Amino acid sequence: MPQYTPPLRDMHFVLHEVLDVTAELKRCQRHAEVDADTINAVLEEGGKFAAEVLFPLNHSGDREGCVLDKGTHAVRTPAGFKEAYAKYVEGGWPALSVDAEFGGQGLPIVVNQCFYEMMNSANQAWTMYPGLSHGALECLHAHGTEEQQKTFLPKLTSGVWTGTMCLTEPHCGTDLGLLRTKAEPQPDGSYKITGEKIFISAGEHDMAENIVHLVLARLPDAPQGSKGISLFVVPKFKVNSDATLGERNAIFCTGLEHKMGIHGNATCQLTLEGASGTLVGEPNKGLPAMFVMMNAARLGVGNQSLGLTEVAYQNAAAYAKERLQMRALSGPKAKDKPADPIIVHPDVRKMLLTARAYAEGGRALAIYCALLIDQMLAADDEDERKEAAELTALLTPIVKAFLTDNGWIATSHCMQVYGGHGYIAATGAEQYVRDARINMIYEGTNTVQSLDLLGRKVLGDSGARLKKFGKLVQAFIEEEGTDEAMQEFVNPLADLGDKVTKLTTELAMKAMGNADEVGAAAVDYLRVAGHLVFAYFWARMAKVALARQDSGDPFYAAKLATARFYFAKLLPETAGLIRSARAGLAPLMAMDEAMF
């Protein structure tokens, strides 16, 4: 059976040795008193919750799945899920990074990020139940009325209620301009909402008292397309004026999706039959309001794949040390045994190191983005808040798409390490592959993220956001350029930075002639950009490891070895991607549609 050990040592390395988060947070008055000991203590307890409470439910929850009672529309989650959620609430974990104004603990987002990585490693399907509550809370915090905030935020903060977002309909996924759900105004200022939603994660369950649905719908006089969408808060149970639960609202689960993975999470078909809701934000401005939640979810999905990459790597590495198969090509290594452990074979090591490099690089990026969000929300200086917001916007599609692509690659490699034993359920390896696959699809497919990066975040502002990140890279290169020991990391980083600049300029020129050139190059471009970001963070981690390699701690030697592997074996992928991006639109459009 699989195992999981929270990667606290590596988290401490990134938090305190690479990013020095406590020093960064001192520029935010709200977090100025947060110290390393506090962060470490919280994460240690969070790791225990993930490993001891959630992880034992992962395999069984996958096998059992969720059950819908079609008569009552109630969903029963797998055995142990409800009890684990009660412990989660009792421990105060939902309130970890929520403002004290709403009953939260007020700790930085960066702490919550690390906690959620561990929960995703332990049990992604379970973690999705409370996961969207943070986005719902932030959306209502930003756009809700005072009454909505008073009604919903304390309950979402405590975890007594959970949240969802209801966007997708049977006929529309990414293209939300096609949605048909209707909202009819009522004399009391509320709305009656009617329609169907599908693919709603945690849309119905037995773990919380109430579920706060954020629903996109159209008003009767709404314009066509995405400019005619409004946002409504529609609770499962209506809420009385004294904050107690009232009658059941007319929003019901009418079906559960039978899925490839994340079986322990209820992915629901929801029917609204004149459900009562209230408007969030302005009429016909629902999509921008919902984007608060969607962007949080995109970062969260990247974190899901980061968690799966880590746990898949841990188990594959442990298996490779024990599994005996054949002899090393250079001669026996375990002479006292009938065969060598498979970890001696070069390609097994390549698969393991690929997963490790993607996990550790992804962790650095994810923690950095969480720190940016802390700065965006709480920095004392307005320019610093704006700078953090711009960088977060640039990096969000990379976190979502690059980390989930890497998670798919890594979990597949780790399953391969097991050979035939990886394909059967007992080892747990195949579940990580199945669970990882959805992360490339939902919250905007990775192609949509690529279009967002290249079309909106780079070309859309003439490269201004990209230049902001480029300045960070260039400053690091100039600072470390004279250090001979750093050349193996700095030189390829500088080279790729130059190539990204040239590729961006070339694609901008092509797009001026035909916008479809963006679509032809976007996926390749995002992956190149992802490697640029990873190369920057791997170079920063290598700098710290080099300075401490003689400390006697083997952690730093392992970090350096992984960094060298990344630059030697993974970063060169960018050469082929750049060539593919430059090949442009023509090879994709040459074949007539009828020939497909």
Known catalytic residues are 443
In this structure, which amino acid lies at residue 192?
Answer: K
Centre a 10 Å sphere on the Cβ of residue 240 and count the other Cβ atoms it contains: 11
- In degrees rounded to 5, what are phi and psi of residue 590? -70, -35
Going from the C-alpha of 177 to that of each of 169, 244, 411, 524, the distances in angstroms are 11, 36, 35, 27
Give yes or no for a contact between 214 and 163, defined as CB atoms under 8 angstroms apart. yes
Q: How far apart are CA 407 and CA 419, in angstroms?
A: 19
What are the DSSP calls for 84-98, one per residue?
HHHHHHHTTGGGTTS
Q: How many CA atoms lie within 13 A of 395 on its CB side?
A: 27
Give every CB contact of residue 383 below 8 A, 6+ residues apart in sequence.
none
Centre a 10 Å sphere on the Cβ of residue 189 and count the other Cβ atoms it contains: 8
* Burial of residue 557, with CB atoms counted within 10 A of its CB: 0-12 exposed, 13-18 middle, 19 or more buried: middle
- In degrees rounded to 5, what are phi and psi of residue 516? -65, -15
Residue whose C-alpha is closest to residue 229's, from 177, 266, 270, 273: 177
- In degrees rounded to 5, what are phi and psi of residue 281? 75, -155
Give every CB contact of residue 565 below 8 A, 6+ residues apart in sequence.
353, 357
Packing angle of the helix pair 346-378, 382-417 (nearest 10 deg):
160
